[in-house]
Amino acid sequence: MLEATGRVTQAQTYGETLTLLRTYRAWLGESRFVMRDTVTNEGHTRVVHMLLYHINAGFPFVDEGSELLAPFATPPRVLFGDADPSDATTYTRFVAPQKNWVQQTFEHRLSFTPGGRVPVAIVNSALGDGLGLYVRYDPSTLPRYIEWRMMGEGQYAVGIEPCSNGFGREEVRRRGELIELEPGDSREYEIEIGVLDGAEAIERFRAEVTSARG
């Protein structure tokens, strides 16, 4: 096993003092790693806490015909851009780079597997024998999922974005979902990121996604 740990501090005068302790773990012979974060309020006052993992996937995972695999519980909420949420292809299928494309953002409600994880992947079945980028995460700490799509020329990417809250701080506050950390409080997050190599691995992952829909 390979392990690396780092620490980042976000601090300002008359404001918050938050630390992020991050540990990466990877195992020899496996095409995945696990990222574990601990966020701690090391200041002396209560602070607001919101966390979003902005994991960008681009070419060749994202290409014309690539697919987003996820256990969608309901049609998404459109946060930005022009899209029909009743048409699943608008958020599960990707197109070639488009001229003058306007970004789209969706907020999804996803189910979880019997093992208590949410599996999400972007797969390109036309790339060799099939190739995919996947993420697994814990919905008890990351209950929301944002999909950012930018199919434009020169800026061609899709964001895989599990997050602790929905989009927009004031709206989250109105919903009563805003997280506040008292001095000394911590929150822990864990995400697994890996590669699906080949059609068999993609189909196993697809079966895992289907198991989360019950």
What pLDDT sits at residue 168?
A: 81
Question: How many structural domains are present in the chain?
Answer: 1
Residue 26 has pLDDT above 70, yes or no: yes
Q: Count other C-beta atoms under 10 Å from residue 7's C-beta.
A: 9
What pLDDT sits at residue 121?
A: 98
DSSP tag of 93: B
What pLDDT sits at residue 140?
A: 94
What pLDDT sits at residue 170?
A: 86
Chain-centroid distance, C-alpha 95: 20
E-assigned strand segments in 99-163: 104-108, 118-124, 131-137, 144-152, 155-163
Proportion of the chain above pLDDT 70, given as a percent: 99
Q: β-strands 77-80, 104-108: how paired?
A: antiparallel
Q: Band of the pLDDT at 21, cuts 50, 70, 90? A: very high
CATH number at residue 194: 2.70.98.10
Q: Count other C-beta atoms under 10 Å from residue 83's C-beta.
A: 17
Q: What is the mean pLDDT of the chain?
A: 95
Q: Which of 104, 57, 49 is nearest to 77 (CA)?
A: 104
| pLDDT tens per residue across span 118-165 | 999 999 999 999 999 999 999 999 999 999 999 999 999 999 999 998
Domain of 121, in residue numbers: 2-211
Enclosing H/E stretch for 208: helix 199-211
Q: Band of the pLDDT at 166, cuts 50, 70, 90? A: confident
Residue 105 has pLDDT above 60, yes or no: yes
Residue 214 has pLDDT above 70, yes or no: no
Residue 176 has pLDDT above 90, yes or no: no
Average the pLDDT over each of 73-82, 129-138, 191-200, 205-214 and give the range with the smallest value: 205-214
